Amino acid sequence: MTALLVFEQILNSLQYGLMLFLLAAGLTLVLGIMDMINLAHGSLYMLGAYIAASVYMATGDFVLAVAGAALGMGVVGLLLEFAVVRHLYHRDHLTQVLATFALILIFNELVRIFWGPQPLLMSVPPALSGPIELLPGLYYPTYRLLIIGVGLVLAVGLFWLVNRTRMGMWVRAGASNREMARAMGVDIRILFRILFALGAALAGIAGAFLGPIFAVQVGMGENVLTTLIVAIVIGGIGSIKGAFVGALMVGFVDTAGRAFLPLLFYHLASPDVASNLGPTLASVLIYVLMAVVLFFRPQGLFPVRT
């Protein structure tokens, strides 16, 4: 276990965590402000990946692929909000769960119909496929570095949007007190629609960037949704800061856990136990983290409402 390996895993955690943040930010705002659970958020991520993969395969232009995913998902988000989601805001949580769960099934099947059941192969663009030498002897894939870069830029952008703009102020007001936001003269409906579309666009971007790393397949949305929910619960519902911290924590624990826990077990126990227990424990580490956080802070680390 070298320092280089550790550093590499830290970078991987950052990369994964930042992408999770892009997804978590959109979802947590919907949860906090609209008090609505949107299980289909993972499907938006999946759709974004599919759109990006298709555009990339057709044009070979990666930038176009990401832009296509962002814009495409923004449009899908607007349409979805208008057609289905906005009717759910005033309904009870049970109905929201059922409806958005139904959307997952529908999206999954639509993707299967249009793109077929086989996973799409999206390769890392050749220009970015090589490693970069960050420090003497430390090589890191250029592509992942790009993701970190884009993730940081978007994160900063989001923080600026939420903390320094008027719209952000409305968002924060709405997150802690919906009635107050309404009283401030904000047209809640338009705000919600824009927010939802923004969240969808971010999900699309995340999907586009993660496509080459994870497989582009039906069901990728559900895998990420679980991690997302853990990150949001840890961070606190409705809080962008919470989503950021939660996503990074989950990204770190999951990545480092999967990388180091089996190694740890190899040193401590027999290879048999290690090969079984290691991956198992690694996969539940984020839930253990969640349980620990909830024990001390039942509403997450930075809840918006008291």
Residues 6+ apart with CB under 8 A from 50: 111, 115, 120, 207, 216
Identify the residue among 23, 237, 249, 250 touching another protein (CB under 8 A). Answer: 237
94 binds another protein (CB under 8 A): yes
Type of residue found at 225: L
Site string for another protein, 13-32 (x = CB under 8 A): ------------------x-
Contact pick of 4, 10, 57, 102 for another protein (by CB under 8 A): 102
Largest CA distance in the chain: 65
Rounded CA-CA distance 151/198 in Å is 15
Q: Judged by CB under 8 A, which of 191, 232, 243, 247 binds another protein?
A: 232
Q: Is 83 in the site for another protein (CB under 8 A)?
A: no
Cβ distance to another protein smaller for residue 103 or 201: 103
Q: How crowded is residue 250: how many other Cβ atoms within 10 Å of its Cβ?
A: 29
Read off the tokens for 215.
Answer: 């497989």
Q: What is the dihedral of CA 43, 46, 51, 56, to 10 degrees?
A: 170
Binding residues for another protein, rule CB under 8 A, total: 41
How many beta carbons lie within 10 A of that of residue 295, not counting itself? 8
Is 110 a residue that touches another protein (CB under 8 A)? yes
**Interacting residues toward another protein by CB under 8 A:** 31, 35, 37, 84, 87, 93-95, 97-99, 101-106, 108-110, 112-113, 222, 226, 229-230, 232-233, 237, 276, 279-280, 283-284, 287, 290-291, 294, 298-299, 306
